[in-house]
């Protein structure tokens, strides 16, 4: 192998392993991404690298550019190239720009390792897939679960680290917010349990642990558009708030129902939040897709 060939190979490897420069936050229409000689359709949450070229065919594409901490929106007919510290306009109109924080995932969407999942079952007969667990930023959590078939009544019980009941409520829905009329939960470890009853019988139950762990600079429930949701989700998961990140990905899934990468991300997030039944439920859905 010649020296020139070795140098070329090292250059290609360096480019392929280069740190991400940004991420696609939203796409309404069609856009292509060119990286070297390879070209593909742009997609939500795709990580971008220096040297990438993007051309928007129809609609708009929004992306995060970390070197300048900007959220940039490209319109149809616009082509750009990502440089080390700037975005070069190759053709079309000037994009719109606004300052924003840079939050990139430590694991790219669709690249999660799911091999270790499975084998551990949730309690209950059958178990209820709880969607809230692990560290939480809020002192007034929203407790959410996957509804069961039929018309059961759910009893939700929250206990502190000493196993004392802090709050208990019944509902026919699948979501309850810790009430504003109650004293805020102090930082620390808690557990919550949902028991489903129908016809005088318990038809399902599940318990999960959570930790109230407020974090400055992280927000939950304020993001409205897809790009803002994705940024908040990534920020939360990077800090270990997996179930709150999953809440955003569930919203993103509603507008991207065929994107298997989001379904994989949810399974990965549930597992990291200690939500075993929800992980198993999500893995079963993945196996059917």
Provide mean pLDDT across the span 27-35.
96
Mean pLDDT value across the chain = 90
What residues does 170 pair with on adjacent strands?
155
What residues does 202 pair with on adjacent strands?
197
Q: What is the pLDDT of residue 19?
A: 83
Provide mean pLDDT across the span 120-140.
84
What residues does 205 pair with on adjacent strands?
127, 195
Domain with residue 183: its CATH number is: 2.60.40.10
pLDDT at residue 123 is higher than 70: no
Residue 68 resides in a domain: yes
Q: Which domain holds residue 252?
A: 134-288
pLDDT at residue 164 is higher than 80: yes
d(CA 274, CA 264): 16
pLDDT at residue 124 is higher than 60: no
Cis peptide bond prior to 126, omega within 30° of 0: yes
Listed residue (70, 67, 99, 109) closest to 252, CA to CA: 109
Q: Which of 72, 99, 126 is the last residue of a domain?
A: 99
Provide mean pLDDT across the span 243-270.
95
| C-alpha distances out from residue 223 to 43, 198, 252, Å | 20, 37, 11
Q: Residue 60, Cβ neighbours under 10 Å: how many?
A: 17
Residue 109 resides in a domain: no
pLDDT at residue 144 is higher than 70: yes
Q: What is the pLDDT of residue 17?
A: 52
pLDDT at residue 174 is higher than 70: yes
Listed residue (257, 212, 263, 218) closest to 236, CA to CA: 218
Confidence of residue 162 (pLDDT cuts 50, 70, 90): very high
Q: What is the pLDDT of residue 79?
A: 98
pLDDT tens for each residue of 79-112: 999 999 999 999 999 999 999 999 999 999 999 9
Rounded to 10 deg, the angle between the 260-272 and 242-255 helix axes is: 160
Domain count, the chain: 2
Residue 259 resides in a domain: yes
Residue 107 resides in a domain: no
pLDDT at residue 11 is higher than 60: no
pLDDT at residue 158 is higher than 70: yes
Pairing type for strands 79-82 and 165-171 reads unpaired
pLDDT at residue 55 is higher than 60: yes
Q: Identify whether residues 95 and 144 lie together within a single domain.
A: no
Q: Identify whether residues 68 and 201 lie together within a single domain.
A: no
Q: What is the pLDDT of residue 47?
A: 97
Start-to-end CA span in the chain (Å): 45
Provide mean pLDDT across the span 163-182.
97
Spell out a b/e string for 166-187, using b for 16 or more CB atoms within 10 Å of the CB, else e. bbeeeeeebebebeeeeeebee
């Amino acid at each position: 192998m010649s020296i020139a060939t070795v140098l070329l190979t090292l250059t290609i490897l360096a480019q392929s392993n280069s740190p991400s420069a940004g991420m696609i936050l939203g796409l309404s229409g069609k856009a292509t991404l060119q990286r070297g000689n390879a070209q593909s359709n742009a997609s939500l949450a795709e990580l971008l690298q220096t040297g990438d070229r993007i051309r928007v065919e129809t609609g708009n594409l929004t992306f995060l550019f970390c070197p300048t901490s900007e959220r940039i929106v490209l319109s149809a007919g616009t082509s750009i190239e990502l440089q080390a510290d700037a975005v070069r306009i190759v053709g079309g109109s000037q994009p719109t720009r606004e300052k924003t924080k840079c939050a990139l995932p430590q694991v790219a969407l669709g690249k999660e390792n799911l091999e270790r999942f499975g084998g551990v079952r949730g309690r209950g007969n059958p178990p209820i897939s709880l969607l809230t667990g692990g560290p939480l930023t809020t002192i007034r959590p929203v407790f959410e679960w996957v509804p069961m078939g039929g018309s059961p009544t759910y009893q939700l019980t929250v206990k502190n680290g000493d196993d004392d009941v802090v709050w208990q409520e019944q509902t026919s829905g699948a979501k309850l917010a810790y009430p504003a009329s109650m004293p805020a939960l102090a930082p620390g470890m808690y557990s919550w349990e949902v028991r489903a009853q129908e016809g005088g019988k318990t038809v399902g139950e599940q318990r999960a642990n959570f930790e109230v762990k407020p974090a400055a600079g992280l927000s939950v429930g304020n993001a409205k558009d897809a790009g803002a949701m994705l940024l908040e989700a990534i920020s939360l998961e990077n800090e270990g708030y997996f179930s709150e990140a999953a809440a955003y990905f569930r919203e993103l899934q509603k507008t991207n129902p065929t994107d298997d990468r989001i379904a994989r991300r949810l399974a990965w997030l549930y597992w990291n939040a200690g939500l075993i039944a929800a992980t198993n439920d999500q893995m079963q859905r993945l196996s059917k897709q």
